[in-house]
């Protein structure tokens, strides 16, 4: 199937019987399925999905300024759990580094956030990106559900994402989402509360136990580590 869908671009798919995992050497997206792939088309089977946008700083190098890596890990854990319980889990990994603004722009934003007057604050989280890049986000999420439709998914039991843009794109494309799963508090890195509090205040999914606390006062109070603390801690320390 993959050989046909890629137009015969990768003959190893049919010539290498010893291959169990295939990672195409191209950008775009990669889909990881946990459990029988045919379960994606079966609405009677539980389906857990995380749509993840690339973040090398966190996914690869373990930066704690955002929730990307721990949320991806949580998504994988939930997908594996669903497969073990007889359902199917799907991780769609998109190459949309830095909200599709690119890695260089993202690190310029991080630098500006840490160096701005008053330090890294939730209340200026999106504004700082706009100051550096001219826009807050360059992703076009309306096309994102295409890979889910290609898999035959019509219903998602657990969507491991708090993004309102991703949720709206999936639902507007005709896929039912029954439950949205927030990142557990204990998995939020020390310096990532600036990001997650700003996003919840801006419209991201807010879990029920936090709906009375996510307000203007919260984003005014939430601050990240100072630049001096970051320099002392080092890029890989948590």
- Residues taking part in catalysis: 137, 139
Terminal C-alpha separation, the chain: 43
Other CB atoms within 10 Å distance of the CB of residue 203: 12
* Token couple for 150: 């290609």
* Token couple for 89: 């889990």
Other CB atoms within 10 Å distance of the CB of residue 149: 13
Dist. CA 231–CA 133, nearest whole Å: 25
Q: Which of 126, 135, 110, 117 is nearest to 197 (CA)?
A: 126
Scanning 56-162, the segments in alpha helix (DSSP H) are 68-84, 97-100, 103-115, 125-133, 146-150
Helices first, then strands: H and E counts in the chain:
11, 6
Helix (H, G, I), strand (E, B) or coil at 175: coil
């Amino acid at each position: 199937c993959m050989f046909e869908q890629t137009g015969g671009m990768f003959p190893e798919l049919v010539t290498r019987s010893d291959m169990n995992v295939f990672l195409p050497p191209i950008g775009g997206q990669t889909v990881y399925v946990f459990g029988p792939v045919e379960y994606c088309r079966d609405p009677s089977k539980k389906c857990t999905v995380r749509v993840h946008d690339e973040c090398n700083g966190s996914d690869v190098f373990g930066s704690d300024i955002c929730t990307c890596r721990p949320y991806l890990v949580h998504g994988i854990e939930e997908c594996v759990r669903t497969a073990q319980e007889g359902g199917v889990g799907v991780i769609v990994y998109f190459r949309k580094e830095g909200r599709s603004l690119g890695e260089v722009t993202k690190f310029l934003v991080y630098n500006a956030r840490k160096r701005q007057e008053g330090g890294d604050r939730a209340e200026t989280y999106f504004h700082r990106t706009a100051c550096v890049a001219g826009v807050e986000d360059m992703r076009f999420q309306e096309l994102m559900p295409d890979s889910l439709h290609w898999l035959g998914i019509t219903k998602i039991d657990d969507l491991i994402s708090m993004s309102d843009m991703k949720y709206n794109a999936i639902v507007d494309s005709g896929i039912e989402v029954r439950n949205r799963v927030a990142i557990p508090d204990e998995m939020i890195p020390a310096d990532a509360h600036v990001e997650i509090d700003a996003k919840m205040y801006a419209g991201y999914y807010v879990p029920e136990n936090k709906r009375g606390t996510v307000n203007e006062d919260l984003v005014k109070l939430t601050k990240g580590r100072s630049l001096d603390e970051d320099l002392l801690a080092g890029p890989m320390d948590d």
